[in-house]
Amino acid sequence: LAKTTQPISMDSYEGQEVNITCSHNNIATNDYITWYQQFPSQGPRFIIQGYKTKVTNEVASLFIPADRKSSTLSLPRVSLSDTAVYYCLVGDRQAAGNKLTFGGGTRVLVKP
Amino acid sequence: NAGVTQTPKFQVLKTGQSMTLQCAQDMNHNSMYWYRQDPGMGLRLIYYSASEGTTDKGEVPNGYNVSRLNKREFSLRLESAAPSQTSVYFCASSEDPSNTGELFFGEGSRLTVL
């Protein structure tokens, strides 16, 4: 499984855009990149997934360069409720069992 | 549709006691997982089950056993609890293959071992 590296923490202010970059130098051909969000005392929840280029949904955008060795989660115009830990995962979503492991995550604090 | 349900939500044990954490999902998912999360840390995979009748070790399986009772249920047992097993335990499920392989998590079971 590809190992991921993310910043430990980031601070931002309401209304700003937050960009979190994840490094995954050993990503395999069949691996997808998935981001999860976790609030205190809750289980993580899926935010977005991508394979290459750019993916956008109602919550976030995911930018993946051509070499796929990194990815950037972009949260537009954050609010206080976006304060959470964000995890980047890399794995083959089609693999039986899909043994997914989480790294340490990035703790995002949104200030007023 | 409850999703993933874990019981109990809170438990306090003494060192050496045993207990079983229960997990059930109603989404007809094939794969189920047990993670632990220590304070301020990320999630670590304990065991997972790719399908009914199969289980495999994750990153930190020592001190735990699991049972995939049927497609819906996946239990985690601590035979002789130790203070190092104080943690929040999350059960998750996913459908493989699927559009995203998205993991659906329960609300967690907070375990304290004295």
- The arithmetic mean of pLDDT across residues B66-86, rounded, is 96
The H or E element spanning position B57 is strand B56-57
Contact A43 B101 (CB under 8 A): no
pLDDT tens by residue, B32-64: 999 999 988 888 999 999 888 899 999 899 999
pLDDT for B2: 78
pLDDT tens by residue, A23-32: 999 898 888 8
pLDDT classification of B1: cutoffs 50, 70, 90: low
Q: B81: distance to nearest CA of chain A, Å? A: 22
Tokens, residue B18: 């045993």
Beta carbons of B110 and B13 less than 8 angstroms apart: no
What is each CA distance from B98 to A35, A46, A51, A78, in whole angstroms?
16, 14, 15, 30
pLDDT classification of B6: cutoffs 50, 70, 90: very high
Q: Which residues of chain A have pLDDT under 50?
A: none
pLDDT for B42: 87
B34 close contact with A: CB closer than 8 A:
no
pLDDT for B100: 67
CA dist A25 and A98 (Å) reads: 19
- The arithmetic mean of pLDDT across residues B13-20, rounded, is 97
Q: What percent of chain B has pLDDT over 90?
A: 75
Q: Which of A24, A36, A45, A43 is nearest to A90 (CA)?
A: A24
pLDDT tens by residue, A72-87: 999 999 999 999 999 9
A95 contacts in B (CB within 8 Å)? 96
Q: Is the dihedral of CA A54, A62, A36, A21 positive or negative?
A: positive
Residue of chain A with shortest Cα separation from B59 = A101
pLDDT for A95: 62
B61 close contact with A: CB closer than 8 A:
no
Q: B114: distance to nearest CA of chain A, Å? A: 21
B72, pLDDT greater than 70: yes
Give the mutation candidate from B43, B49, B89 for the A interface (greatest A CB count, under 10 A): B43
Tokens, residue A105: 């995550």
pLDDT for B98: 53
- The arithmetic mean of pLDDT across residues B71-94, rounded, is 96
A49 close contact with B: CB closer than 8 A:
yes
What is each CA distance from B83 to A51, A64, B65, B95, in whole angstroms?
41, 42, 17, 34
Q: Report the helix count and the strand count for chain A, using DSSP H and E.
A: 0, 9
DSSP E strands in A1-112: the ranges are: 9-13, 18-23, 32-38, 45-50, 53-56, 61-64, 70-75, 84-91, 106-111
| From B44, B45, B97, residue closest to A94, measured CB to CB | B97
pLDDT for A1: 55
The per-residue pLDDT of chain B, averaged, comes to 92
* Cis-peptide, bond into residue B97, ω within 30° of zero: yes
Single-letter amino acid, residue A72: T
B74 close contact with A: CB closer than 8 A:
no
Contact B35 A41 (CB under 8 A): no
What value, to the nearest 5°, has the Cα angle with vertex A36 and ends B110 and B98? 105
